[in-house]
Amino acid sequence: AQSVTQLDSHVSVSEGTPVLLRCNYSSSYSPSLFWYVQHPNKGLQLLLKYTSAATLVKGINGFEAEFKKSETSFHLTKPSAHMSDAAEYFCVVTGGSYIPTFGRGTSLIVHP
């Protein structure tokens, strides 16, 4: 069995300040973890993925995430938010099966 919890439904930041989107997971197997971003009226775009290599994963657009097994977390961070980062972000886990489990999403709001 596997599950994902995105701890915040909304995160609001000012442009130029750091971003932290939190994700906890559970999986009976060694997980693969992903972060996707969805802009309004668009499909999902892969930001980054963890598949048991380096625990600190760098993605596109300056995002990165750290896999912490002891805390079962995979939080997404970015040092400095841009207005274009405003979107919905999804944390995804794939465990023993091919069926990915999506979190409920975190809406990132960026203020000028």
Partner 1 sequence: KAGVTQTPRYLIKTRGQQVTLSCSPISGHRSVSWYQQTPGQGLQFLFEYFSETQRNKGNFPGRFSGRQFSNSRSEMNVSTLELGDSALYLCASSSGTDRSYEQYFGPGTRLTVT
User: Out of 1, 20, 46, 54, which residue is the one contacting partner 1 (CB under 8 A)?
Assistant: 46
DSSP notation for the chain = -EEEEES-SEEEEETTS-EEE-EEEEESS--EEEEEEE-TTS-EEEEEEESSS-SEEE-GGG-EEEEETTTTEEEEEESS--GGG-EEEEEEEE-SSS--EE---EEEEEE-
User: Out of 61, 104, 109, 111, which residue is the one contacting partner 1 (CB under 8 A)?
Assistant: 104
Question: How many residues of this chain interact with partner 1, rule: CB under 8 A?
Answer: 25
Residue 2 or 73: the one with the smaller Cβ distance to partner 1 is 2
Residue range at the interface with partner 1 (CB under 8 A); choices 15-23, 34-42, 69-77, 79-87: 34-42
